[in-house]
A and B are shown apart, each in its own frame.
Chain A
Amino acid sequence: AQSVAQPEDQVNVAEGNPLTVKCTYSVSGNPYLFWYVQYPNRGLQFLLKYITGDNLVKGSYGFEAEFNKSQTSFHLKKPSALVSDSALYFCAGIMTTDSWGKLQFGAGTQVVVTP
């Protein structure tokens, strides 16, 4: 089955240190991949997407993600984390067999940035 997975339930990082949130996908061909962030009692906010082309994608709030086809990964990164980055992060994909926009989400990774 085609799917998106986030192997870490929680990531802890000190403010100012690099932040990485991991995502892997399982699909034949190239999926369209997205990252969203969810703050408490809020909906999901779009951060960035990979469709095709450059494997390094830059998004909102200083986040970027690297698409790696050989490792089937799409990890989210930020060079210097802020306390305000503490939130729930979701990786999502639209699989190549879907001609319409059905987003398949990972289970989410809670990011905790400590001062």
Chain B
Amino acid sequence: ETGVTQSPTHLIKTRGQQVTLRCSSQSGHNTVSWYQQALGQGPQFIFQYYREEENGRGNFPPRFSGLQFPNYSSELNVNALELDDSALYLCASSFGTSRREQYFGPGTRLTVT
């Protein structure tokens, strides 16, 4: 098991609502990346945070936003939820912004009805 934790484990939301997912990075890691994994697909990169700043972003709309805190934990916020947002959301932590391996948390399963 990695030291990356995510909460909640599961949640169900209604279309149009807003959701916040949380991630605690592994000790010693200062970078957090978020991925969306739709059923039957590989994870898709949402964005990365390094030292509390967004360091890169994938092809996701602005209603996907995030924060990183001084202790390097992170939040993913999604506004105006759509049915297609139903997925497993994975958080990964690493050290620095170089091409190092990332360690993943167990994920949050979001269902939008």
Contact = CB atoms under 8 A, between A and B. Distances in A.
A binds B: yes
A92 B101 CA distance: 10
Interface of A: 32, 34, 36, 41-46, 49, 51, 90, 92, 94, 98-108
Interface of B: 2, 4, 6, 31, 33, 35, 41-45, 48, 50, 55-56, 58, 90, 92, 94, 97-107
Nearest to A104: B45
A67 to B, nearest CB: 14
Contact of A90 (B33, B43, B58): B43
A32 B94 CA distance: 15
A107 B50 CA distance: 27
A103 B102 contact: yes
B47 to A, nearest CB: 9
Contacts of A46: 101-104
A90 B97 contact: no
A31 to B, nearest CB: 9
Nearest to B4: A43
